[in-house]
Structure 1
Amino acid sequence: MEQDRITIIIPVYNVESYLAECLDSAVGQSWKNTEILLVDDGSTDGSGAICDSYALKDARVRVLHKRNGGVSAARNDALDMATGRFVTFIDSDDWIDPDTCRAAYEAMEEHGADAVLWPYLREMGDKTKKRELFPEDVRIFEGDEGKDSVRDNIQRRMIGLVGEELLHPDSADSLVSVCMKLYRTSIIRDNGLRFVDLKEIGSSEDALFNLEYFGHVKKCVYINRYLYHYRRTNAASVTTKYRPQLYSQWDRLYDRMEDYIESNHLGESYRTALDNRIALGLIGHGFNELNSGAGTLEQIRKIRYIISRERYQRACRNLDLRYFPIHWKVFFLCGKRKSATGIWILSRTMEMLRKL
């Protein structure tokens, strides 16, 4: 394993319209000691051929073609292939700045860190929006306790938000992604870290991976450079398809997080963070049932079943509503009082407003 090589992992599935921009940004890094692992996850468009064309032009590019198995399996396959001392990830419809690998490597080495994090730009056609994680130009997180600890500032937030963090719920998504980070390959391999199949947990495979990874991190560095470009104009990536297994999948996700908290004897803030994640998950359940195609009464019945579960009741009881605007306060009060009709009405109203 080369001492300063960075492995760039890019899972690829049916993104031929955007793939060249992503791959150009990877091969065009000012830090040249990279390997670029492209996992063609059973693409049915021209994505696989585009991957092969880049491999023919650049010896640093390696391509694995496989049957479709999902993004988690694709990333795991690439981790098995990686020869770099460090690993970073890019989604195949996004792109990175030319100095991304250099900036991350230099921060990692300068501070003797186990991880480097940076913010991103949300690209929406002709509009760009910054997604800042922390206000400082450089911030060091170290240890298990204190205002700059890895545990409370980074690891715990992989489970969920607490206190004033609830004022900015989108910051959780920004931090949870495995993109916008540089990892040590040795930590991943020494601890057998893997991505969990989305068929099992429904979402948040990045959160589970990072939850475990940052449990082994002694020091990490945040650099306030907007090096990653997250594309939001790909219609194929935004779906309103009904997910009939979402309830049971998220139950398994919450079970995994709960087991991790208990087995590692983590503090009460982790328990609160999980409760808050579960409560906020009611929003996703509400929108999901609207997409079911079932009649209104059946949709309300499904919502009532979910919010009647003790796991959701406890989460709604414990959720601190001070940090939410009025419509979300009403939404979560409906959850607390088991008002499935109220949740349905609010979900329906917000869905209609979102489409205006």
Structure 2
Amino acid sequence: MPKVSVVVPIYKVQKYIRRCIDSIVEQTFPNVEIILVNDGSPDNCGQIIDEYAKKDHRIKVVHKENGGLSDARNKGMEYVTGEYTLFVDSDDWIERNMIEELVKISLDNQADVVQSSFYYAYHDYLLYDNRYFSKNHPNKLLNNHELMYELICNEKVKNFAWGKLYKTNLIKDLQFKKGVLFEDVFWSHLVMQRVHTYVITHIPMYYYFQRSESIVFNYSLRNLDIIEGLKERHKFVEQYYPNLINESFKVILSNCLIHYNLLLLNRGIDKDGNSKKLIRSFIKLKYKEFQLAVEGNKELKIQLQFFSVHPIINICFLAIRKLFRKIKLLPQPIGLEKKNLSFKV
């Protein structure tokens, strides 16, 4: 029976950490080691995880100075001894049979990585992305080229490090980039380049908790790290997957437009307008490449044309489109499957 190492980076999650650890401790798969990395958390997280370690010999506790999520994951990887590794974020939780199911799928298919579907977990409801697959669809196997295409698109294969069972020897020497947000974008493509067989199971077994105080909901200039990550990945794509260059350009353009609009909405964080200028200059510099890439994508093509005239015109287009959808002159975009909870999480 293979061993699975579960790495949990922990920082300021006193309210949620027990739910996370309990879901791992109670796994139906017996051969698990649990590596809890206290990233200098100023609350009681350190004390809580020490208590768990006293009760369960499978738990290893690491205390370190605060260095961020990447640094905590990297530190956790130093203690991994399992044939497989699973990352779980400390405010999330997993189904009790998740590890057992993912190991079985990996062994049955000789897979390097197995991806679980997940719920976006809110306090009183869950959302499941059923736009491409339903929960009863058979597992999806991807070869390396199919995998890299899906990773770049970030729809069927997400850039998230969590929720995937990795063969440890695949990732042991690949560190997360320190000091950035969206660190997974800088890391995932380097891992996936090594993958021969990738399996997606459509049964949601990971709960991705959405809390208002998380970094996703507090916009700052650091959120622009994702654009830098996508640019860095693009250089990799140019070198190793040149036939996916247009897909990469589309994702970069989409993110540039999104973050330009977010900067407009949050004027206070970009008072001198330098960040907006940099995005606009980059789009202007790469305009011909973007124009070629969005051919066939009507929405992005329109946005690029409007933005190149003036960003406000694109904002007006998006506002009008939103209004038309609201009054049902345009169809609503396909939504996610919602499941109400009888209790609050």
TM over 0.5: yes
The DSSP-based 3-state class of the residue aligned with 2:204 is coil
Aligned residues: 318
User: Over residues 236-292 of structure 1, what are the superposed CA-to-partner deviations in whole Å (9 max), with x where a residue is unaligned?
Assistant: 34433431x655x4564244213322332x232x21122012111120232034324
1:259 to 210, 230, 235: 235
Residue identity opposite 1:183 in structure 2: Y
Structure 1 residues 101 and 235, CA gap change in structure 2 (3 angstroms): same
TM-fit CA distance, 1:114: 0.9
**8 Å Cα contact 1:279/1:315 also seen in 2:** no
Residue identity opposite 2:280 in structure 1: I
Distance 1:323 1:76 in 2: 39
Residue identity opposite 2:140 in structure 1: R
Distance 2:96 2:213 in 1: 26
Distance 1:341 1:131 in 2: 32
**8 Å Cα contact 1:289/1:302 also seen in 2:** no
1:196 to 173, 177, 180: 177
Q: List runs of 5+ in structure 1 lacking aligned partners.
A: 142-148, 162-168, 352-356
User: Over residues 30-51 of structure 1, what are the superposed CA-to-partner deviations in whole Å (9 max), with x where a residue is unaligned?
Assistant: 0011011111111111222111
**8 Å Cα contact 2:39/2:67 also seen in 1:** yes
Of 113-122 and 231-240, deviating more is 231-240
Matches within 5 A, 1:172-211: 175-189=158-172, 192-199=173-180, 202-203=181-182, 205-211=183-189
CA-based RMSD: 2.9
Matches within 5 A, 1:130-209: 130-132=128-130, 134-135=133-134, 136-141=137-142, 149-152=143-146, 154-158=147-151, 160-161=152-153, 171=155, 175-189=158-172, 192-199=173-180, 202-203=181-182, 205-209=183-187
Distance 1:220 1:36 in 2: 24
TM-fit CA distance, 1:323: 4.9
Name the structure 1 match of 2:343.
none
1:281 aligns with 2:255: yes
Name the structure 2 match of 1:165.
none
Residue identity opposite 1:137 in structure 2: P
Structure 1 residues 150 and 20, CA gap change in structure 2 (3 angstroms): same
Name the structure 1 match of 2:245.
271
TM-fit CA distance, 1:334: 2.5
TM-fit CA distance, 1:343: 4.6
Distance 1:183 1:6 in 2: 9
Distance 2:46 2:125 in 1: 30
Of 337-346 and 76-85, deviating more is 337-346
Percent identical residues? 23
Residue identity opposite 1:318 in structure 2: L
**8 Å Cα contact 2:237/2:248 also seen in 1:** no
Residue identity opposite 2:238 in structure 1: E
1:37 to 19, 35, 57: 35
Distance 2:238 2:290 in 1: 21
Name the structure 1 match of 2:2.
4
TM-fit CA distance, 1:24: 0.3
Name the structure 1 match of 2:291.
317
Distance 1:82 1:58 in 2: 17
**8 Å Cα contact 2:294/2:301 also seen in 1:** no
Distance 2:93 2:286 in 1: 38
Structure 1 residues 314 and 46, CA gap change in structure 2 (3 angstroms): farther
Q: List runs of 5+ in structure 2 lacking aligned partners.
A: 323-345
